[in-house]
Structure 1
Amino acid sequence: MSIAYTGSDLSQTTATLLESELALFEKEYKKNFTPAESKPKSIGTPYFLHSPLSETGVLLIHGLMAAPEEVREWAVFFHKKGLTVYAPRLSGHGTSSADLSVRTYKDWIDSVDRGHAILRTCCKKIVVAGFSTGAGLALQSVILKPDAFEAVIAVSAPFKFKSFSSNFAEILNGFNQLCESINMAKHAKKFVTNHADNPHINYLRCPVSAFVQVKSLMRKVRRSLKNIRIPALVIQAKEDPKVAPESGPAIFKLLGSDKKHFSWIDHNLHGIVRGDIGNEVFKEVESFLEACCLVDTLN
């Protein structure tokens, strides 16, 4: 199996890095494969859509409990507009929820950093975009590397969750750790049910520890949003049942950029980057990129 990519004229460096990511996925998929849970490999495989004539690339980051397939339609949209796209696989994703349970947000940032390194081999300009936890990682990537990106797009970033279980994740995670330390692991509740928008892609149970990691990530993001100075687009569904809708306006308000835009999407599901509703999101994204003078790459 080779890395999933569209296009030609890849440099040896780009090809080598892509193959390295595939090899890592293959290794982790084999190690963590769970018959009743793991999705087909095609769901978790990172992919690269190359536009040889473009100098601009998009680093496109999926959400928690998902996989690169989650942002496939968004990636195709970018690619049809003439942009190169790389969708990395976040550590612990595309394999099993047990694998995710031992990962940290720093592992996810490492996954994103490797994706950025791939795009740097073939693109002079890079836009970072993400959905849900991927949006939080996109924002954190700009905070950590303020000169590395031309613009940032954050869709449904989880400043605040709505579910009861996520609000008490730290307490439950502490209880789980206590159970482990006193040899009473059977009493721990390490996973909660995930009512997935895309069950063919998402894990159907979420590690409590993963909620803790997302909340830790977003606390770091919150403290440094004022330092983001590049053009930024924030999008939020009005009736998001998983992420509190006020998350979007809160992020927008704290951003330090003079070139920022906020858009509401009138929808009652969390997943807004697939299907018909995704087309509404993509229209907002296209308008934003045009306003950022990246229109020359959008043929």
Structure 2
Amino acid sequence: MTIEADFLRRIPAEALRTEEGVDMLDLLDLVGMLPSTFSTGSMRASTPRGAGTKPSARALRHLPTRDYAEAAPVPTRPHRMHPMLENKPFFLKASAERVCLLLHGLGGGPYEMQPLAESLYAQGLSVLAVAYPGHDKPARRMPASTWPEWYGHIEATYRKLAGAFASISVVGFSTGCPLALHLAAHWPVAKLVLISPFVSVRHRWFYLLPPEAYLYSVGRLLPQVPRRRLPVRDRAMREAAEQAAYYRTFNLCAVRSALALVGTVKAELSLVRSPLLILQSRRDSVVAPSGAEYIYRRVRSRVRQLHWFDKSDHILPLDLERKEVYERVGRFLL
């Protein structure tokens, strides 16, 4: 049994219910964090705060209750340390009113957002990171999945959060950005943050044709392509991310589905009115940086900001300028 599973077994059932009556057990089960061995009938009385041994920080990372979160908050890791990244959904509950939903990139996972989430949590914001269908289990090859499956999971999570929190903000990374925009076009989103938004693949002169042209031609004959090293210029963070990542290939069916999602979202940008912050690196080797300006000019958000970075690659939350990313996102959301 994992530390998290053992610790959850010792939480009284009433501690997993919010003041509004929403059952946090349901929410944990929805995002795939509830251990299969968990049973409310097997739980015993909790130890009073301050008595006995305190649970570890690793166990607390997955604990949704306000009491334990206030007793021992998870600190933000120093930015120069080699981090321990974990590729699984997590829920850090601090605020009873505000929560931030974190959406990862295509072929990635919650590890891409983990240090940012810990920074926001340390500042008093509840955060929840999901793993999409087709991204939630280790495998040698990336499974096929589609954007309606990813969005269906996101929307179900959003609806659960809406029953527990008064305000929901959304932070998307890469393909998580069009998913976040699609959500904001149809549901109330307090604030919206887009990091390295995927609108199109970055085109290089030696490609001859746009990358999308290959995906819809010869790409239909190839179900998988090898994944190159992760686009992170910080070597220590790249190594940590590569250890956490599940897949060593890209499923091209999933990539084409992501492009279909972008086509859908482009027609909906005028419906997005949430306050918006966009963060984009000019040195992004994966997505076309011009996509950030495309979104900025077409949404109807009265409050919108676009900030450029010059040192990092695609995965901004893990790269050289991540400290500034955390600071800007924190100021915007809080």
TM-score by length of 2: 0.70
Please tell me whether the aligned partners of residues 132 and 157 of structure 1 are also in contact (alpha carbons under 8 angstroms): yes
- State percent identity of aligned pairs: 23
* 1:171 alignment partner in structure 2: 217
* 1:94 alignment partner in structure 2: 136
Q: Which runs of 5 or more residues in structure 1 are unaligned?
A: 27-41, 177-188, 290-294
Quick one: which amino acid aligns to residue 280 of structure 1? E
Structure 1 residue corresponding to 2:308, chosen from 261, 264, 273: 264
Q: Deviations over 1:79-104 (max 9, x none)?
A: 11101111011111132567754211
Structure 1 residue corresponding to 2:116, chosen from 71, 74, 86: 74
Quick one: which amino acid aligns to residue 217 of structure 2? I
* 2:243 alignment partner in structure 1: 200
* 1:62 alignment partner in structure 2: 104
Q: 1:268 to 1:285 in 2, by over 3 A?
A: closer
Quick one: which amino acid aligns to residue 172 of structure 1? V
Shift of 1:10: 2.9
Distance (whole Å) between structure 2 residues aligned to residue 192 and residue 228 of structure 1: 34
What is the number of residues matched between the two proteins?
A: 258
Shift of 1:167: 4.5
Distance (whole Å) between structure 2 residues aligned to residue 120 and residue 261 of structure 1: 26
Q: Which has the larger radius of gyration?
A: 2
Q: 1:14 to 1:24 in 2, by over 3 A?
A: closer
Q: Deviations over 1:128-158 (max 9, x none)?
A: 111111112111111122xx21011111111
Please tell me whether the aligned partners of residues 86 and 110 of structure 2 are also in contact (alpha carbons under 8 angstroms): yes
Shift of 1:206: 0.3
Q: 1:83 to 1:167 in 2, by over 3 A?
A: farther
Structure 1 outlier segments of 4+, above 6 Å: 23-26
Shift of 1:282: 1.6
Q: 1:275 to 1:98 in 2, by over 3 A?
A: closer
Please tell me whether the aligned partners of residues 263 and 284 of structure 1 are also in contact (alpha carbons under 8 angstroms): no
Distance (whole Å) between structure 2 residues aligned to residue 200 and residue 111 of structure 1: 25
Please tell me whether the aligned partners of residues 62 and 133 of structure 1 are also in contact (alpha carbons under 8 angstroms): yes
Q: Which structure shows the bigger proportion of residues in helix conformation?
A: 1
Distance (whole Å) between structure 2 residues aligned to residue 59 and residue 68 of structure 1: 11
Q: Which runs of 5 or more residues in structure 2 are unaligned?
A: 37-84, 232-240
Q: 1:237 to 1:212 in 2, by over 3 A?
A: same
Distance (whole Å) between structure 1 residues aligned to residue 87 and residue 316 of structure 2: 19
TM-score by length of 1: 0.78
Q: Deviations over 1:66-124 (max 9, x none)?
A: 11122100111111110111101111113256775421100000121132133223211
Q: 1:97 to 1:211 in 2, by over 3 A?
A: farther
Q: 1:97 to 1:226 in 2, by over 3 A?
A: farther
State the Cα RMSD in Å: 2.6
1:151 aligns with 2:151: no
